[in-house]
Amino acid sequence: MQIKLDMEDVNVSLGNKGVTLRIADNAGRHFGDLRIGQASIEWMRGRTREGNGVRMSVQDLIAAIEANA
């Protein structure tokens, strides 16, 4: 997986729309988008449009990560 974010000493505040990360496989092919908002996240695999992806709250994501750590 390739997740690129080249930002040094930059603070990012999440607005109403949040931030979208584009994720590609190691060959550079688009894999999906991850939208991170103030209260929820949404995974949009492939060409899935915003609003049609898999949604969960930030608290549920943190709980899932901690359960698998």
| Pure H helices in 1-69 | 58-68
Residue at 52 is within a domain: yes
Residue at 24 is within a domain: yes
User: Which residue has 């060959």 as its token pair?
Assistant: 27
Number of domains in the chain: 1
CB-CB contact of 25 with 36 (8 Å)? no
Note the pLDDT of residue 2.
58
Q: What is the pLDDT along the chain (69 residues), one digit of tens a residue?
A: 555 666 777 777 777 778 888 898 888 899 999 998 888 899 999 999 988 999 999 889 889 999 998
Residue at 10 is within a domain: no
Residue at 63 is within a domain: yes
Range of the domain at 24: 19-68
Residue at 14 is within a domain: no
Nearest to 4 by CA among 23, 25, 27: 23
Residue at 64 is within a domain: yes
CB-CB contact of 36 with 18 (8 Å)? yes
Tell me the helix, strand and coil percentages in the chain, rounded to 5. Answer: 15, 35, 50
